Amino acid sequence: DIGKIGIPHEILLKPGPLTEEEWAVMRTHPELGERILAPIVRLSEVRRIVRHCHERFDGDGYPDGNAGDEIPLEARIIFVCDAFHAMTTDRPYRKALPVEEALRRLDEGAGTQFDPDVIREFCTLVRERPGPFTRSWA
């Protein structure tokens, strides 16, 4: 989400739902992140991951609409971690979900929003080692 530094604060910190126009701006952050990292030659692989970390497994994500194995595995993993973090963290417009509810919602998105193999491994990891996933990082 490094590209979010290029998104206006009024959008990033908005306490309610974003408008369609605001979402269009927000959806530019993966490409912004890729451009921010472009001058750093050693991070060329990281740029690719940053660009694709909001692609959905079914191809309905952004910025490129890639699907399945077209999305780097690292980006698929980050997408799941980011979604879990978003669900289990208080937001200005809603309270954090309990861990089990967040895992249930991730599982519901397996095969459409998320890579089912990544979801299976992530949910197993969280259930087997809950400590790091249940403390507040704020």
Q: Does residue 38 sit within a domain?
A: no
Per the structure, the complete domain to which residue 93 belongs is given by 76-138
Block residue for tokens 């249940």: 134
pLDDT tens-digit profile of 49-68?
999 999 999 999 999 999 99
Would the pTM count as exceeding 0.85? Answer: yes
Q: Does residue 13 sit within a domain?
A: no
Single-letter amino acid, residue 127 = R
Block residue for tokens 């208080």: 90
pLDDT of the chain along its 138 residues, tens only?
A: 899 999 999 999 888 889 999 999 999 999 999 999 999 999 999 999 999 999 999 999 999 999 999 999 999 999 999 999 999 998 877 899 999 999 999 999 999 999 999 999 999 999 888 676 665 544
Q: Does residue 138 sit within a domain?
A: yes
Domain count, the chain: 1
Distances (CA, A) of 119 to 4, 31, 131: 25, 25, 18
Q: Does residue 103 sit within a domain?
A: yes
